[in-house]
Structure 1
Amino acid sequence: MELFEKPIYFLYFLAALGAVGLLCRLGQVRKRRITRALFGPAAYARLTRGGDAWGKYKTGLFLLGLFFVFAALARPQWGVEIVQAEGNFAQTVIAVDVSASMRARDVRPDRLASAKNMLRMLINHLPNERIGLIAFTSQAFIQCPITTDDDALKYFVSTLQPDMLPVAGTSLAAPVELAAHMLAKYPGKKALILLTDGEDHIPQELAQAQKAAQQEGIRIIAIGIGTPQGELIAQRTDVSGKVLEYKKDSQGKTIVTKLDEKSLAALAAATQGMYIQYTSPAQVAAKVGQAVQDLDRSTTAASSRAGYKNRYQIPLALAILCFCAAALLPFKPRRGQDGAK
């Protein structure tokens, strides 16, 4: 532990002390010149023969008070206390589609890998923001609670895999409703960043989810990843990544997954959000980052930590006492000032 958090202020005190001494010296020289010019050398000697007997004490108290002011600025510290950190944050939840269709390779290397690359860049665009992470298929699950810990968020992004959840299919309503629940306690306008190809196997539930987002002031930033022309879904690959088998439906037909831009654009428009078609990680991350920066912010607790107690009050109180004492000391003439011999 260092006794002073900012000891550099003691160097500033030395500079201030030099400046005060220089000003006092220049003032004395100027006063001497003016007095001698007006009254002559003999008169100046008689006028300055006496003086204040407590002048040195007043000067000493003033300089001591000045020292204590700079000691307070240096922030003396000792003893430990728990400090609750606060910050002014925007509130955002990221929901990522991890259904089987995210294996499609119409976006290289595949849809989910591209989404993860974009998210890493986006997190770098939003340092110290409050962000949560959801993974969803036909149901949604919280992967990371809303946090300001960028490293934790990046770790959970790295763990996302297709079919990682125990339920199949895709529902856009599920992540919207879960995000509304996560963001309900925060005031102002918030955001849900939705990364998906837009396929929805339970579209009849979406209207109610939109209403929940609107009630909570959540803007949905929908990012469509894939192509409208569609792509086959890789089912099995070899060690080199070559596709050995494509996913088929219950009737044995090969499944083609297509980007549904119309549904995603309508969902975003219903919540005064925006739709972005995936192009490249850097471009999409920049657009989303700008949209999040425009959200309302609220001051909330971020974390707790142990810190040393700041004791600046002690030297500041001593400085005030010194200045008051210097001001209250009366004028006391030196002996012989009245001209007695």
Structure 2
Amino acid sequence: MSFNPLLPWVPYAIGVLLVLGGVAWAAYQDLKISGGARSARLTWIRRGLIAVLVAFIGFGPSTTVTTTELARANVDVYFVVDRTGSMAAEDYGPDAEPRLKGVRHDMREIIKDLSGGRFSIISFDSAASRQMPLTTDSTALKTWIGSLNQEITLYSSGSSLNRVYGELEQALRRGAEENPQNQRIVYILTDGENTSEDSRQSFAGIKQYINGGAVLGYGTAEGGKMKRYDPILSSESEEYIQDFTQSPVVPAISKIDEVALGALAQEMGIKYIHRAEPTDMKEATSGIDPKLVAAEGRRTTEIQQLLIWPFAALLAGLLVWEFAASTYRTTRKVG
């Protein structure tokens, strides 16, 4: 057994000595007046035990408990996910499926490869938002990935990476301040398309916070058509987004912008990888070393656990006894 006082050792010990000394002096005076009667001796023995137990509990009696828990890697992974309408373009993989299918696959693979780390998700469409703070909750991550879809077509205002810069910079800066020893890994999953009139903002300002990651590009130079999305009418509309700048009107085509994606990766000091089909993600996760505290992602730790309940139970019994004795004496005096 060890002790972890609820207050600093020295002032607490002085306080205990003063209280116990006061109890002893009161007992001495009372016993002298009563002539050492048996009832008086029993009363002060009980009160002395109460004082000693209270003092003992205050010293924080503790036992050492060994526990096994999951070890957390020193890796913080930030996913930046493009949910604009262009990510629904059907030019991913051999079966020409929506680009977001590749995004879902790649996120799951990265989480598996970097198991033990913490993961955060920032998504952007017409605006950027933190969808999930840094967490090790794999169930929550998988649920979010499984429900990932494009933005509602009716509310779409085009594509621009500028929207996500502020949210990502804030998240990385805060992570660097709170856990400077951690590796911060960034994966941006997008097609790089920019339909905004504004030129793309440079991401070089956040390079200082990044230790690795990749810009993952989706789509083809030929491009693909995009289906409209309205979760109220249906989970997936068969109607394609139209290009009203053409005459006659034809389905709009979204194409990957690999020049922009390569420049973005260079600004952030990470690699650019074109993702054309659902293969493993070793190229994106290699070189990242999640330094686990113990082998196999688990560690054994020893903690000090307060052992108060047995003494608190004994104290409660003495207090009940004291209350009953005091009530009895009061009743006799009144009678």
TM-score (norm 2): 0.56
Residue 171 in 1 paired to residue 199 in 2? Answer: no
Alpha-carbon RMSD: 3.8
- Partner SS state of residue 282, structure 1: coil
Cross-structure match for 1:109: 97
Q: Gaps spanning 5+ residues in structure 1: where?
A: 1-76, 300-306, 312-341
Whole-angstrom CA distance in 1 between matches of 2:229 and 2:129: 26
Shift of 1:87: 3.8
List per-residue Cα deviations over 1:26-80 (Å, max 9, x = no partner).
Answer: xxxxxxxxxxxxxxxxxxxxxxxxxxxxxxxxxxxxxxxxxxxxxxxxxxx9688
Deviations 1:239-286 (A, max 9, x none): 999974211144444311001111001110122100001033333x22
Of 117, 123, 127 in structure 2, the residue corresponding to residue 129 of structure 1 is: 117
SS of the residue corresponding to residue 251 of structure 2 reads coil
Distance 2:121 2:79 in 1: 5
In the alignment, does 2:238 pair up with 1:222? Answer: no
Change (3 A) 1:309 1:102: same
**Aligned-partner Cα distance in 2 for 1:289–1:219:** 9
User: Does structure 1 residue 206 correspond to structure 2 residue 191?
Assistant: no
8 Å CA contact retained: 1:219, 1:273: yes
Does the 8 A contact of 2:89 with 2:227 survive in 1?
A: yes
Cα contact 1:195–1:223 (8 A) shared by 2: yes
Question: What is the CA–CA distance in structure 2 between the aligned matches of 1:109 and 1:151, rounded to whole Å?
Answer: 26
Partner secondary structure for residue 192 of structure 1: strand
Deviation of 1:149 after TM superposition, in Å, equals 2.0
What is residue 260 of structure 1 aligned with on the other side? 257
Work out whether 1:246 is the aligned partner of 2:240: yes
Distance 1:142 1:82 in 2: 34
Contact 1:91 1:183 (C-alpha < 8 Å) held by counterparts: no
Paired residues for 1:148-163 under 5 Å? 148-163=136-151
Q: Which runs of 5+ in 2 are unaligned?
A: 1-61, 294-301, 307-335
CA contact (8 A) 1:95 1:192 kept: yes
Q: Which one of 75, 86, 91 corresponds to residue 76 of structure 2?
A: 91
Structure 1 counterpart of 2:14: none
CA contact (8 A) 1:115 1:195 kept: yes
User: Is 1:232 aligned to 2:217, yes or no?
Assistant: no
Using the TM superposition, give the Cα deviation of residue 206 of structure 1 relative to its aligned residue in structure 2, in angstroms. Answer: 3.4
Higher relative contact order (CA closer than 8 Å, sequence separation 6+): 1
> What percent of counterpart residues are identical?
25
Whether the aligned pair in 1 keeps the contact of 2:159 and 2:195 (CA below 8 Å) is: yes
What's the secondary structure of 2:228's corresponding residue?
strand
SS at structure 1 position matched to 2:121? strand
Separation of aligned partners in 2, 1:250 and 1:240: 23
Aligned equivalent of 2:332: none
How far apart are the structure 2 equivalents of 1:126 and 1:85? 14
For 2:283, the aligned partner's letter is K
